[in-house]
Amino acid sequence: MVTYNKIILRSILLASYIGVVALIIFGISSVFAYLNTGADRSTLLHTEVKKIDQYLPKVIWEPLNNEGRVMDMQTLNAIEKDYLSALYLKHIAYKNNITIGLDDYYTESARENLYRTIATNNAERIVIEATTLAHHPKLDFFSEDGQLAVITDKNVIEYKRIYKNNVLVFETTEEATYKIVVLLEDGFWRIRHIVAQDIHEHIEKTIETPKINTTIKGINYYPKDTPWDMYTSNFDEHIIAKDFEIIKNAGLNTIRLFVPYKTFGKANLIPEKLEKLQCVLDIAEANKLNVVLTLFDFYGDYSVLNWTLNQRYAETIVSRFKNHKAIYAWDIKNEPDLDFNSRGKTMVIAWLKQMLILIKTIDNNHPVTIGWSSAEAAPILKNYVDFVSFHYYKDIANLATTFNTLKQTITDKPIVISEFGLSSYKGLWNPFGNSPTTQANYHKNVQKILKKNNIPFLSWTLYDYKNIPRAVVGKLPWKRHKQKHYGFIDTDGVKKPSFQFITN
Amino acid sequence: MKAKFIHITLICHLLSITAIAQIGLNPNAITILNTKNDFTAGDTIALRFTLPKGTKPNLYCTNSYGSTLISPSIKNQTLVYTLPKHISNKSGSIYWKLISHETSLSGQFNIRSKPNVASIETYIGPPSVQAGQNDYTMAVVIPTDTLDNPLNTNTKVTVKHQFLDTVVNATVINNNIIAYSNITSKQKSGRILISSEVLGKNSKEFTVDVLPSLPTNFTIGYNQNHSYADGNQITTFFTSTLKDRYGNTVIDGTYVTFFVRNKAGAVLKTFGTTINGVAKSEMLHPSNPESWTVKAFVNGMAESNTITLNYKEAIKTFNVHFSKNNRTITVGPLKSFMKQLIPDGLQVVAFVYKHNTLVHKYNGASKQGLVTFNLKKDLIKNDTYNIKIQVAGLEKTFNAKILW
């Protein structure tokens, strides 16, 4: 017994000894490792590639004709990159009244000017959300040693929202011209001086509305098995070709398609995705279908600092497809009025307005619209859209009245109902839902009203869907199941009774 | 005609009365009272407006660096907005707007920098230029006032520089915030001192080095102890003083390559860098009689004349002794030009042939005038061989040597 205890005691002693030694070694090694870490000396040179596109306003350089040294493209790009970073950090600084990062892009004397403004704004509880949308820089001077440059940034379009005590007091779009001196310091082109030459309110040029053919008889389209997920690996042009033929043979002439913002790669559009979209448009053209292309699907962040990224996305798509024969119109955003509560009405409207202006400057041949979720929201920005479109899922008894009331507000522009429909879901989650026959009756009656009032329409939707991504209607099963049964054709590809009332 | 004129005047009067009445009807109408549109940085800038009955709006104001809101104060029945110092101290354009639903009042004015200079930032580069009046350096001057505003366009800036006996003052005009002047290099190498003056205030002194220009063609020579090909002594090559076309000695460290071509056409290279314009480089004497042609280059810039060196044979003849079943070959004693034993390290080669086929080659270096080769049995079997010995370009052949 005694020996037994002794063995236990010895092993405990031994184990604790080993443990203590291990701990000491671990401690020493940790200290040693800590002392050996530190900034890599190469970081001094700022050679590492860390380019994330955060801020991409439109920058159009004037042809180079500067005094001093001949400029090379690499240096000019470096200057532009650092200048935009300087602006981006300035916007962040004024938005949060912080000074982080400014020291990288403003020289010691120049940053003082920003610090003072930030200090005043912070004390007065003033917050400024701003972005610049367009720059037209001209290189005035580049020093012989390549360390100093003077730029005149002309006609900078700058949008600002000014808040005091967390309340928006003012929004403004200005056009300004600045003279800027930048110095190459520590590998950064830092701003040394900014002198505004001219700042005034920006007045948009009015762009004429293109001619609009309003004989729209159409439908919203997603493939049966890949709703809201059309351009991923499931993309199948044969299915789309077949579906478009069904649509054409049903007597329709227009389809409404959606381009998801994130899936397409945000500001840096993924070429393969654009190819797929091209393919879809080609099929539509082959079937003589007009396409209303809804941009910014699955995008709900309207924050000012992201505008430049949003605009590059829209610009890329619109400029690529503006000459495609299938394109009928650009629908900026699907149901943006649903984001009014979460994102702020003024913010959403400001975003839409800038986007409308941008798209109209790129493509003046195709009309633009916004797919409002209700007739009540439809008059918003009516002076900026080329035709008004809204969605109608309410009682059809009021459809004609709603349309005609809206027509009194919007007298000079066509109005399109770009979504309407009825779910034929009846089941566990909604035992008193509508049957396919009720749905057919609904469409029969709607088509009568549409025909009588000569209303251009796009119905929701061609197919019933088996699966619906959560992002569309959320997790709730009664909502999901309802959304699955709006189609004119069921999940097995069989035409539902409503199909005969797909058009008038 | 006169009646018509009276009519028109009456109508005009009526119209103006209506207009005044309309202003009078709206008690919230605000009008600006300032008339001045041009300020100097550092001035106290206050915008004055008529006092409205209703709410007192804030004023939005933006300048080169940022934007802010200004709350009003009321003085003598006028609305006064005093611009904060951080805005009124900075030169450039200012845009303001009254944030009021009733009136849309906005405007723009300009703040000029102070008419004095507090600091003269001077950026000079490149820091060294090449002599010869082709290359130049640039002095960029950014004069600023006490509030760190760049001075107004068209301010005169004098850029001064001194070189040897000359002092040059160049007056340039401030444009695009900066003023710049190019300073061309001179024919002589040396230092240019540069400074600038703005509105009576002077900058500190800056230095730019004028470095000699590209070297021109030069000559080379050589030094040696004797001209025997003993494979032991060293020949030193040297250049004349390398100068640019203005007579400046090229900078130390100019790289000179000496190309040596031997009788067989092979190229040997040796390098040297200049000190005070002279580059030196060395080469070991060959061990065979040789004729070398030597030419030196500064790559892509200059070249020298060609010189020829002849190396005489150091060894006239040599003895070979076979021993130990002919398996030990002793060459030597090798004697140099004064019959002295050749210094250690001379290369001796022995070739062992069987019917004109090389069986093995032995390399040896002389030690105290002797070289010994041991032909081992495992490499050279017992047989009859032809053996050839080469020393300093001489050779001896021994045919049908039996090894056992």
Helix residue spans in B258-375 (DSSP H): none
Question: In this predicted structure, what is the pLDDT of residue A196?
Answer: 95
Task: Name the residue facing B108 among A116, A152, A200 (closest C-beta).
Answer: A200
Which pLDDT value is given to residue B14? 41
State residue A108 phi and psi, 5-degree precision: -55, -45
- CA B150 to CA A154: how far, in whole Å? 19
Query: What's the pLDDT at B1?
Result: 43
Comparing A310-314, B69-73, B138-142, B376-380, the range with the smallest average pLDDT is B376-380
From start to end of A202-323, where are the E strands? 217-220, 254-260, 290-297
Higher confidence at residue B34 or residue A495? Answer: A495
Rg (alpha carbons) of chain A, rounded to whole number:
30
Determine the Cα–Cα distance for residues A379 and B113; give it in Å rounded to an integer: 49
pLDDT in tens, B312-354: 988 888 889 988 888 899 997 888 888 888 888 888 999 999 8
B225–chain A Cβ distance below 8 A for any pair: no
pLDDT in tens, B196-241: 999 999 999 999 999 999 999 999 999 999 989 888 889 999 999 9
Q: What is the mean pLDDT of residues A445-449?
A: 93
Query: A-chain residues within 8 Å CB-CB of B67?
Result: 94, 117, 128, 130, 160, 162
What is residue B149's predicted lDDT score, i.e. its pLDDT?
94
Q: Give the pLDDT of residue B10.
A: 43
- At B31 the pLDDT is 83
Looking at CATH, the fold of the domain delimited by B220-313 is given as Immunoglobulin-like (2.60.40)
Cβ atoms A402, A395 nearer than 8 A: no
Q: What is the mean predicted confidence (pLDDT) over A408-428?
A: 90
Topology (CATH level 3) of domain B320-403: Immunoglobulin-like (2.60.40)
Averaged over B283-309, what is the pLDDT?
A: 93
Q: Do domains B24-112 and B220-313 have the same CATH topology?
A: yes
With contacts defined as CB-CB under 8 Å, which chain A residues touch B149?
195
Q: A160 and B62 in contact by Cβ < 8 A? A: yes
Nearest residue on chain A to B143, alpha-carbon basis: A193
Say which residue, B369 or B35, is predicted with more confidence.
Answer: B369
Residue A467 has pLDDT above 50, yes or no: yes
Q: Are strands B156-163 and B190-198 parallel, antiparallel or unpaired?
A: antiparallel
The pLDDT score that the predictor gives to residue B325 is: 86
Identify the pLDDT of residue A50.
Answer: 63
Cα distances (angstroms) measured from residue B162 to each of A162, B139, B190, B193 = 55, 13, 11, 5
Residue in chain B closest to A121 (alpha carbons) equals: B68
* Out of B64, B142, B176, closest to residue A196 by CB: B64
- In this prediction, residue B26 has a pLDDT band, given cuts at 50, 70 and 90, of low
Average pLDDT over residues A342-370: 93
Fold type of domain B119-211:
Immunoglobulin-like (2.60.40)
Which residues on neighbouring strands pair with residue B229, listed in sequence order? B313
Stronger pLDDT, B383 or B222, i.e. the higher one: B222
Q: Is B213 on the interface with A (CB under 8 A)?
A: no
pLDDT at A451 over 50: yes
Judge residue A33's burial from the number of C-beta atoms within 10 Å of its C-beta, 0-12 exposed, 13-18 middle, 19 or more buried: exposed
B35 has pLDDT over 90: no
Which of B60, B71, B149 is the closest to A162 by Cβ?
B60
Go through the domains of chain A in sequence order and give each one's CATH number.
Answer: 58-201 (3.10.450.240), 217-501 (3.20.20.80)
C-alpha distances out from residue A303 to A204, A309, A336, A349, A497, Å:
21, 11, 14, 12, 45
CA-based nearest distance B117→chain A, Å? 16
- The band of A392, judged by pLDDT with boundaries at 50, 70 and 90, is very high
Rounded-to-integer distance, Cα B342 and Cα A312, Å: 84
Q: Can you give the residue ranges of every domain in chain B?
A: 24-112, 119-211, 220-313, 320-403
* Dist. CA B111–CA A198, nearest whole Å: 11
Q: Is the pLDDT of residue B243 over 60?
A: yes
Q: Is the pLDDT of residue B5 over 80?
A: no
Subunit contact B68:A121, Cβ cutoff 8 A: yes
Nearest CA in chain B to A93: B66
Per-residue pLDDT, averaged over A11-20, amounts to 95
User: Looking at the predicted structure, is the pLDDT value of residue A322 above 80?
Assistant: yes
Residue of A388 and A427 predicted with greater confidence: A388
Work out the burial of residue A142: count CB atoms within 10 Å of its CB; fewer than 13 is exposed, 13-18 middle, 19 or more buried.
buried
Per-residue pLDDT band at B68 (split at 50, 70, 90): very high
The alpha carbon dihedral of A401, A405, A410, A411 has a sign of: positive
Contact B113, B137 (CB under 8 A): no
Torsion of CA A369, A372, A376, A379, to 10 degrees: -20
The two structure tokens encoding residue B110: 């300009």
Q: Which of A143, A164, A195 sits opposite B125 (nearest CB)?
A: A143
Nearest-CA distance B68 → chain A (Å): 6
Class of domain B24-112: mainly beta
User: Hey, what amino acid is at B164?
Assistant: L
Q: pLDDT (tens digit, 9 = 90+) per residue, A208-252? A: 888 888 889 999 999 988 888 888 888 889 999 999 999 999 999
Say if strands A327-334 and A368-372 run parallel, antiparallel, or are unpaired: parallel
For residue B105, the chain A residue with the least C-alpha distance is A201
Tell me the chain A residues in contact with residue B91 when contact means C-beta distances shorter than 8 Å: 195
